Structure 1
Amino acid sequence: MPDRYCVGPSMAVDWGEEQPPRLSWCLVQRIFGYFLPYWRRGLIAFACIGAAAALGLAPALVTKGLIDYLAHPTGALGPLVLLVTAGVIASLLGGLIGVLQSYITTWVSEGIMFDLREQLFDRLLGQSMGFFTHSRSGDLLSRMDNDVGGIEDVVSDTVFGLVTNVLVAATTLVLMFALSWQLTLAALLLLPIFLVPSRYVGQATYRARKRTQEKLSEMAAYMQEVLGISGILLVKAFTKERAERLRFQGINHDLRRLQIRQAMIGRWFGMFTNVFATLGPALLLLFGGYLVISGRTTVGTVVSVVTILAGRLAWSAGALGSTHVNITGSLALFQRIFQYLDLPADVAEQPDAHELPAAQGAVSFADVSFAYPGASRSALDGVSLSVEPGRLVALVGPTGAGKTTITYLLARFYDPGAGSVRIDGTDLRHVTLESLSRQIGMVFQDSFLFHASVRDNLLYARPEASEEEMKAACRAAYIHDFIESLPEGYETVVGERGHRLSGGEKQRMAIARVIVKDPRIVILDEATSSLDTVSEQLVQAALRPLFASRTSFVIAHRLSTVLAADRILVIDRGRLVEAGTHDELVDQGGLYKTLYERQFKPERSPTVGLVTA
């Protein structure tokens, strides 16, 4: 196996899921733990099942009574009316009880699905950035949608279905023995002809469904990637429509093949079932005819047992025969969900964590080392730094040096492997995540906006902000006039990931969003190199109020930011190699001077204003 090399979060590789847990009694207990909050409704459902099973015997009794009466009529119509009325009432009651049972079972299944979705979403939100860099969003959506959605079948088919089948089989057998023990024994002898094939076909059906489900999950993940805004832009930029069509056709072809196989397994099983459904009653009728001729039973008994009760018994026994398949599938479904629910949170609040008070903005790293999971070397190695409140710090260094990792540790997207990160002398591991988040505002290189209105995107940082505060932030970020010029102003929907806006407009929106939040510490990953001169000037102007009186860390790509910084930190191979002002570092003649000569010096232009804190 080749060595793993992973330094930055964007380089994380998915090495595959862990082996699924083995089936155990603990797993079964855990699953039934989700049913406990609904035990009262469950008892009502079981009572409905019992009543429905008893009422389901009425057609057989009514049929027997009618045939036997008509075979030896007394001339009175009353018994016929009574029998027919009893059959209608039993059918009506059975239907009403079935509706109630369906409502209760649906309520229970939807409640369990609600609980699982809440837990799963909460667990996913609590995962570190490393989890999302090696997980496909389509797979996560499949767990949330398909797997949790399958719980409804687990509740109705496996749990309540098992009880239904047991009660139906038991009540049917009791009545059959009461009517004719000879026909009942004959039916039991013929039952394996129906059950044995269904067992093997059930297993084959389960395997086919499992493979189909996996292929559906693969297709969902693929479509999520390719048909997203970023994915489709990449496809069109490289003219890969033909290649993606072929790739989709391959997945679609496999899915079609699997679904046809699944359908044909069911069709073949249906054909054999029909054959056995004809053969079994025919043999029973032959035997029943012998019993009638020999005077051991009546015609009504034979018709009721053979045409109604035997079919009812075969149906319930067949369902019980495939119960192990349903149970195995249900446990496998819960296993897939539990794999995510059991994921440990890499960044978790300590039980005694306290609120971080209003920060002054002093930041310090004390001998911090950190390595991403699966990396062959550390992303940071023994980094120590101290920044006074209100200072603008520029992080400079080659690609992959560890600049982004420093900002991720400060925001506590990860915890350091060694050392500590502190704000105002408080170790971040000792404060609540929410109180820390209130003190930090981030502007990412890729400014993400939701498919929502301008107002909703701005107030995402602080929903309680007033209209005046929101518009003041937009004026400070030089984006208010642009927003007012939009067709619906602040109610204009910006599109998925904000793709209705230009790069500069999205950045100024992101800057305004952080100003609305009003944090004490600002983290900015510059992306101004992709903007035109006018947009760059507007973004640079928007940064002035953002940095004012705040401790600011900027992953600098522009000369204006570097020159305006109170302090420049030069990172190389995970180490802090130089620190100082621009002039001091140039005079030292080290790595910064080399980067300045290669990257920054050619950018000098009188048209670009400098950022000043």
Structure 2
Amino acid sequence: MNPMGMPGGGPGSGRNSAQDKQWLSEHPVSLKRIAALFRPHLASVGVVMALIVASSIIGLAQPFIVRELIDDAIPNSNVRLLLLGAGGLVLISLVTAILEVIQTWRATLMGQRVMHGLRTGLFTHLQKQSLGFFTNSRSGDVQSRLINDVGQMQSVITNSATSIASNLTTVVATACAMVAISWKLSLISLVVLPPAVLLAKQTAKLRRAVTGKRQREMSNLTSLIEERLSISGVRLAKIMGTGSADAAAFEDSSHKLIDLEMKSALAGRWRMATMSIIFAAIPAVLYLVAGLPATGQGMSIGTLVAFTGLQAGIFRPVMGMMQISVQWVSAMALFSRVFEYLDTDQALPVAPRPRAIDAENLRGEVQLRDVSFRYPEAHRATLDQLDLVLEAGTMTAVVGATGSGKSTLGSLLPRLLDPTSGQVLLDGVDLKEFDPESIAQVVSVVAQESYLLHASVRENLLWAAPKATEAELWQALEAAQIAELVRGLPQGLETQVGQRGHRFSGGEQQRLAIARTMLRRPKVLVLDEATSALDTVTEALVQQALDELAVGRTTLLIAHRLSTVMRADRIVVLEDGRIAESGTYDELLQLGGRFAQLVSRNELAQRAS
């Protein structure tokens, strides 16, 4: 379940109509809200509808021309009428073809613009959510809504909506034309319409059920590919020796798809065959009625041919109309699913008139004033009425047992989280008053796990500073103690780092991340256990890079290894979200309290190892 209690699959991902209906009953969507998406494109909507109506009406002139050709032009050798009729048929085909191309172009363009606005709006909205939202959400579900659901909505807009409008217009216009040509034959055609509609509806239900199973199995196959063939999945499979089992699972899923594809291909074929027989029987009945003396008096050959042409053309749009309910429910479920994410409260609200940070004149003093923080699912506060000042240009180390609130404290400074109560101030101004992007320009974080883009070394560095020069890139790499390694690579800065940076070791990834941070020249720096996962030799290199990075900056050092805190100007010991002790390294050792106990335990652990 995702954070709002929604199943991961969601509508439009292999669900059947019943599931979509249940979803809509729980998450209703307003037609007014959907209409609002099209309000900026009313002119395009009007043009598309006009093109549909014009194409349908112009196309209906064809059977009337055929009737005149058969009843008058051909038997009477009326050359003028024959030329006009033949030319009219060609002209009608040409005009309707041109109108359909223009209609498709305008409808697709309108749909793409609507979906562009919805897609970018959803992406921007999700960017503003707190880390807690993504921690409790399945990444696959977020991606599915942003890509798959919006993509399927595009199909609904450009294909289904125009198809419904076109079918409805064609049915109404064709029915009127049929009555105008022969009301008697129209009654006969309408008699066989109900059973044809019933068979079409049953066929649609059968195919929908099979298609739902096929899509679910396809989703399962896709998940297997994504999980087993990602670099982490392949690595885990090789370590665990599960390659054969993974291949067997993939083969089983693929085999199931064979059966489902066959069922999908054959679903409703007998019913469709029955419908074909009915369709074939209708012209036969019409010919019989036209030929019998009692019913065919006064009916010309041209009238019969024109009518059968109209009759044959009306059933396709009628069958299309039968799918409206299914398409409607699926479309509404997709809109509801996307709107629910858009309606998610922004956990980190932006001030109505956010202030920009003057980075040049910023001192970098950080103050936490009576700060408390409680996670929604927690029974107690992680931080409890915390008061702390980080002097500008100094390093403050925070130590404490696991769960004491160190990382939560570190997340408050770049405003990844907001305190439940209290204030976090930067140079005396509450962080909530600043533009979030301004905060990101002056507050940077180097965490235990670095994240590198699947791109070149150069692109990863420029991600932090797009305008950085070649010299500045190498200067940052030098300071991060990794320039020599990059120079030794065959492609240098153009070397691809691989998925999540797996081309490099953990320590190398950390140093690249540090170089990237240096290019931003932050005034406030958070080092969140940046060396805790490294070996001693690599830690020394990374620590040297961090020392270079921290010079002249207000630094919050969240430490796991106590050896890293000796150079800090001040050490704060957290316990249950409160400050238990505070002072320099020597002062806290002399105090003989919590910090001294931690140091003692750490020394014992090192001797034991």
- Alignment TM-score > 0.5, same fold: yes
The answer to whether the Cα contact below 8 Å between 2:150 and 2:338 also exists between their aligned partners in 1 is yes
Which residue matches 1:182? Answer: 184
The answer to whether the Cα contact below 8 Å between 2:51 and 2:99 also exists between their aligned partners in 1 is yes
Distance 1:73 1:284, change over 3 A: closer
Deviation at 1:405, TM superposition (A): 0.8
In the alignment, residue 355 of structure 2 is paired with which amino acid? H
More displaced stretch, 543-552 vs 59-68: 59-68
What is the 5 A alignment of 1:210-221?
212-213=214-215, 216-217=218-219, 219-221=221-223
Which of 504, 507, 517 is equivalent to 1:514? 517
More displaced stretch, 558-567 vs 400-409: 558-567
Which SS does the other structure have where 1:34 is aligned?
Answer: helix
Which residue matches 2:154? Answer: 152
Which SS does the other structure have where 1:31 is aligned?
Answer: helix
What is the 5 A alignment of 1:77-116?
77-116=79-118
Q: Deviations over 1:268-314 (max 9, x none)?
A: 553333233223333333223337974231122122212x2112222
Q: Deviations over 1:481-500 (max 9, x none)?
A: 22222212222221111111
Which of 554, 559, 562 is equivalent to 2:565? 562
Which residue matches 2:330? Answer: 329
Deviation at 1:330, TM superposition (A): 1.1
The answer to whether the Cα contact below 8 Å between 1:364 and 1:387 also exists between their aligned partners in 2 is yes
TM normalised by structure 1 equals: 0.89
In the alignment, residue 6 of structure 2 is paired with which amino acid? E
More displaced stretch, 395-404 vs 287-296: 287-296
More displaced stretch, 421-430 vs 59-68: 59-68
Deviation at 1:465, TM superposition (A): 2.5
More displaced stretch, 514-523 vs 38-47: 38-47
Q: Give the Cα separation in 2 of the matches to 1:337 and 1:259.
A: 29
The answer to whether the Cα contact below 8 Å between 1:130 and 1:373 also exists between their aligned partners in 2 is no
The answer to whether the Cα contact below 8 Å between 2:525 and 2:554 also exists between their aligned partners in 1 is yes
Distance 1:207 1:570, change over 3 A: farther
The answer to whether the Cα contact below 8 Å between 1:450 and 1:496 also exists between their aligned partners in 2 is yes
What is the 5 A alignment of 1:427-466?
427-466=430-469
The answer to whether the Cα contact below 8 Å between 1:439 and 1:520 also exists between their aligned partners in 2 is yes
What is the 5 A alignment of 1:160-559?
160-206=162-208, 208-209=210-211, 212-213=214-215, 216-217=218-219, 219-221=221-223, 223-248=225-250, 252=254, 259-265=261-267, 267-290=269-292, 294-306=296-308, 308-358=309-359, 359-559=362-562
The aligned length equals 591
In the alignment, residue 232 of structure 2 is paired with which amino acid? S
More displaced stretch, 322-331 vs 285-294: 285-294
Q: Give the Cα separation in 2 of the matches to 1:573 and 1:169.
A: 72
In the alignment, residue 310 of structure 1 is paired with which amino acid? Q
Distance 1:236 1:16, change over 3 A: farther
Distance 1:530 1:579, change over 3 A: same
The answer to whether the Cα contact below 8 Å between 2:393 and 2:553 also exists between their aligned partners in 1 is yes
Q: Give the Cα separation in 2 of the matches to 1:273 and 1:79.
A: 38
Q: Does 1:596 align with 2:589?
A: no
The answer to whether the Cα contact below 8 Å between 2:29 and 2:332 also exists between their aligned partners in 1 is no
Which of 9, 17, 42 is equivalent to 2:6? 17
Q: Give the Cα separation in 2 of the matches to 1:339 and 1:305.
A: 50
Q: Give the Cα separation in 1 of the matches to 2:203 and 2:168.
A: 21
More displaced stretch, 382-391 vs 204-213: 204-213
In the alignment, residue 354 of structure 1 is paired with which amino acid? R
Deviation at 1:331, TM superposition (A): 0.8
Deviation at 1:234, TM superposition (A): 3.0
Which residue matches 1:67? Answer: 70
Q: Give the Cα separation in 2 of the matches to 1:453 and 1:406.
A: 33
In the alignment, residue 76 of structure 2 is paired with which amino acid? T
Q: Give the Cα separation in 1 of the matches to 2:221 and 2:132.
A: 24
The answer to whether the Cα contact below 8 Å between 1:292 and 1:298 also exists between their aligned partners in 2 is no
Q: Deviations over 1:374-417 (max 9, x none)?
A: 23333222222222112212222222322111111111111111
In the alignment, residue 160 of structure 2 is paired with which amino acid? T
The answer to whether the Cα contact below 8 Å between 2:368 and 2:386 also exists between their aligned partners in 1 is yes
Q: Give the Cα separation in 1 of the matches to 2:540 and 2:69.
A: 94
TM normalised by structure 2 equals: 0.89
Q: Give the Cα separation in 2 of the matches to 1:424 and 1:302.
A: 89
Deviation at 1:553, TM superposition (A): 1.4
Which of 141, 144, 155 is equivalent to 1:142? 144
Q: Give the Cα separation in 2 of the matches to 1:577 and 1:13.
A: 37
Q: Give the Cα separation in 2 of the matches to 1:81 and 1:439.
A: 79
Which residue matches 1:54? Answer: 57
In the alignment, residue 270 of structure 1 is paired with which amino acid? M
Deviation at 1:462, TM superposition (A): 1.9
In the alignment, residue 182 of structure 1 is paired with which amino acid? K
Q: Give the Cα separation in 2 of the matches to 1:140 and 1:269.
A: 40
Distance 1:550 1:189, change over 3 A: same
Q: Give the Cα separation in 1 of the matches to 2:260 and 2:576.
A: 49
The answer to whether the Cα contact below 8 Å between 1:558 and 1:600 also exists between their aligned partners in 2 is no
Which SS does the other structure have where 1:130 is aligned?
Answer: helix
Q: Give the Cα separation in 2 of the matches to 1:96 and 1:422.
A: 64
Which residue matches 1:576? Answer: 579
In the alignment, residue 481 of structure 1 is paired with which amino acid? E
More displaced stretch, 429-438 vs 80-89: 80-89
Query: What are structure 2's unaligned runs of at least 5 residues?
Result: 8-21
Q: Give the Cα separation in 1 of the matches to 2:477 and 2:256.
A: 51
Q: Deviations over 1:5-36 (max 9, x none)?
A: xxxxxxx9857329956499961111122222
The answer to whether the Cα contact below 8 Å between 1:139 and 1:220 also exists between their aligned partners in 2 is no
The answer to whether the Cα contact below 8 Å between 2:3 and 2:133 also exists between their aligned partners in 1 is no
Deviation at 1:226, TM superposition (A): 4.1
Q: Give the Cα separation in 1 of the matches to 2:293 and 2:53.
A: 32
The answer to whether the Cα contact below 8 Å between 1:409 and 1:421 also exists between their aligned partners in 2 is yes
In the alignment, residue 557 of structure 2 is paired with which amino acid? V
Q: Give the Cα separation in 1 of the matches to 2:337 and 2:301.
A: 54
Query: What are structure 1's unaligned runs of at least 5 residues?
Result: 1-11, 605-613
Q: Give the Cα separation in 2 of the matches to 1:445 and 1:24.
A: 40
In the alignment, residue 139 of structure 1 is paired with which amino acid? D
Distance 1:227 1:379, change over 3 A: farther
More displaced stretch, 209-218 vs 376-385: 209-218
The answer to whether the Cα contact below 8 Å between 1:55 and 1:91 also exists between their aligned partners in 2 is no
Q: Give the Cα separation in 2 of the matches to 1:164 and 1:511.
A: 59
In the alignment, residue 585 of structure 1 is paired with which amino acid? L
Deviation at 1:75, TM superposition (A): 3.9
In the alignment, residue 16 of structure 1 is paired with which amino acid? G
Identity %: 37
The answer to whether the Cα contact below 8 Å between 2:2 and 2:138 also exists between their aligned partners in 1 is no
The answer to whether the Cα contact below 8 Å between 1:204 and 1:265 also exists between their aligned partners in 2 is yes
Q: Deviations over 1:496-516 (max 9, x none)?
A: 111111222111111111111
In the alignment, residue 168 of structure 1 is paired with which amino acid? T
More displaced stretch, 473-482 vs 463-472: 463-472
Which SS does the other structure have where 2:145 is aligned?
Answer: helix
More displaced stretch, 286-295 vs 83-92: 286-295
Which residue matches 2:15? Answer: none
Distance 1:549 1:27, change over 3 A: same
Which SS does the other structure have where 1:233 is aligned?
Answer: helix
In the alignment, residue 348 of structure 1 is paired with which amino acid? P
Q: Give the Cα separation in 1 of the matches to 2:446 and 2:2.
A: 25
Deviation at 1:335, TM superposition (A): 1.0
